[in-house]
Amino acid sequence: MELFEEYLAKIEYETHRSRMREVLVWVNDTFPTLAPKIAWNQPMFTDHRTFIIGFSVAKGHFAISPEAQGIAAFSDDIAKSGYSQTSNLFRIKWDQPVNFNLLERIIRYNIEDKKGCTTFWRK
């Protein structure tokens, strides 16, 4: 997880930094075959050099991006978890619990759905 330390160090509040570290470590531990990567100044995980999941931080929340197809597949569950969403990402407020079960399902979906993908993003 050393790769993400410079990114994490730039997060202003320690509680937010700790929360983001917790999520990134969880992804890394739960999916050890995924490759951690920093691209576009954001932490993400890839599988066979294709994007699986990415993260970003903002003042009031952190965002998780599983691409539009990942959002569409889990839109109802994202809403039921109390998270706001766009067509490409969903936001978890810093004081909201992380639904790790949902996050795991989204990541597994992307790994399976992008098995044969030869590009970084879906086409």
Question: Which residues are paired to 53 by β-bridges?
Answer: 45
Write down the pTM of the prediction.
0.95
Q: How far apart are CA 91 and CA 111, in angstroms?
A: 21
Q: How far apart are CA 31 and CA 93, in angstroms?
A: 24
pLDDT digits (tens, 9 = 90+) for 55-74: 999 999 999 999 999 999 99
pLDDT digits (tens, 9 = 90+) for 77-90: 999 999 999 999 99
